[in-house]
Amino acid sequence: MITTPPHLEVHDERFRALVHPMSKLELIAEGFIWTEGPVWFGDRDCLLFSDIPNQRIMRWSETEGVSTYRASSGFNNGNTRDREGRLIGCRHGNRDVVRTEVDGRRTVLASCFEGKRLNSPNDVVVGSDGVIWFTDPTYGIISNFEGYKAAPEQPSRNVYRLGTDGVLSAVATDFAQPNGLCFSPDESRLYIAESGSSHDDTVPPVIRQFEVVGDRLKDAGVFATIDTGLPDGMRCDVQGNLWSSAADGVHCFAPDGTLLGKILVPQVVSNLCFGGRDGQRLFITATTGVYRVFVDIKGAESWTHGGSCCAAGCG
């Protein structure tokens, strides 16, 4: 008889091959206010994640536990790495996208569009060509909880593309509040979370999909609907399954949008990333804690597991 551990909810038998039945849901760090932005640094064997309201970026490693990586983060939210191993982050407080250089200096990559300030960049991905894609909802300026309250100068609807030439363009302009985003493994598709139901329950909590056509996005419709809460951060694995945050845990979808199963988490999940020494741990940021689960699959963002790393990146 196949037993299913209590933190797994199997909707499709294919899910059993992705999360081993002996896997455990481990709480590896706690005591934060609102965790977000997990990113794995394989070459330093550590995880970085944001604790947004406390304005800090934290570091966790198996051997050293939790420490503060950056104490004044500017309400940093989403994080990723580029192919040079540099940390790219979204700061609500500074209302920008910032890169940490190899010597630790920080370079602001984007803070304005058409002469007006961005709202509060939320999450970010970098393609293999170095192009940066990020979302710009208003969550960081609607209160002082995770940023500085201010009137928006941009619509809350935009997703931006920052080319390697420095040109910033709005590539999707019809979201209510765009949030997490991730590429399919071959980068032909960009998935973007619609989290507008946080303030308007008429907005469906969906993950939308777009074909990447040169420097533009072509709307390919709804990929999946989140049945509990709303979608926030997400990642794809090497097979193209998409793992999304939700109010009751992590939802795993096949590349055709079929819900395969859920990892149930006792706190609202904001984001997740693959990592660990073997690349087969799913790290989950969930409200006041960070959780870890063994998964039998690796993330599509393989470059985060090794290669070069900025000297000040996470050491």
Kindly state the tokens that stand for 10.
Answer: 């199997």
What span, in angstroms and rounded, lies between the C-alpha atoms of 70 and 286? 20
Residue 205's nearest CA partner among 181, 224, 183, 221 is: 224
Q: Nearer to Mg ion by C-beta: 42 or 231?
A: 231
Q: Compute the least distance from the CB of residue 119 to Mg ion, in Å.
A: 13
Q: Nearer to Mg ion by C-beta: 15 or 95?
A: 95
What span, in angstroms and rounded, lies between the C-alpha atoms of 310 and 254? 34
DSSP state of 154: S
Q: Compute the least distance from the CB of residue 233 to Mg ion, in Å.
A: 5
Please list, residue by residue across 111-143, b when 16 or more beta carbons sit within 10 angstroms of its beta carbon and e when fewer do: eebeeebbbbbbbbbbbeeebbbbbbbbbbbbe
- The yes or no reply on residue 136 touching Mg ion (CB under 5 A) is no
H-helix or E-strand spanning residue 283: strand 281-286
| Residues 195/156, Cβ–Cβ less than 8 Å | no
Specify the residue for token string 């999909």.
Answer: 209
Please list, residue by residue across 216-234, b when 16 or more beta carbons sit within 10 angstroms of its beta carbon and e when fewer do: ebeeeeebbebeebbbbbb
Residues in 205-244 that interact with Mg ion by CB under 5 A: 232
N residues, the chain: 315
Q: Nearer to Mg ion by C-beta: 232 or 248?
A: 232
Q: Nearer to Mg ion by C-beta: 209 or 280?
A: 209
Q: Compute the least distance from the CB of residue 135 to Mg ion, in Å.
A: 8
Q: Compute the least distance from the CB of residue 38 to Mg ion, in Å.
A: 11
Residues in 113-132 that interact with Mg ion by CB under 5 A: 122-123
Q: Compute the least distance from the CB of residue 13 to Mg ion, in Å.
A: 31
Q: Compute the least distance from the CB of residue 64 to Mg ion, in Å.
A: 27
Q: Nearer to Mg ion by C-beta: 15 or 191?
A: 191
Residues in 241-300 that interact with Mg ion by CB under 5 A: none
Judged by CB under 5 A, the number of residues near Mg ion is 5
Residues in 178-207 that interact with Mg ion by CB under 5 A: 179-180
Q: Nearer to Mg ion by C-beta: 38 or 180?
A: 180
Q: Compute the least distance from the CB of residue 115 to Mg ion, in Å.
A: 26
Q: Nearer to Mg ion by C-beta: 82 or 232?
A: 232
Which residues, other chains included, contact 228 with Cβ-Cβ below 8 Å and sequence gap of 6+? 246, 247, 248
Query: Which residues are near Mg ion by CB under 5 A?
Result: 122-123, 179-180, 232
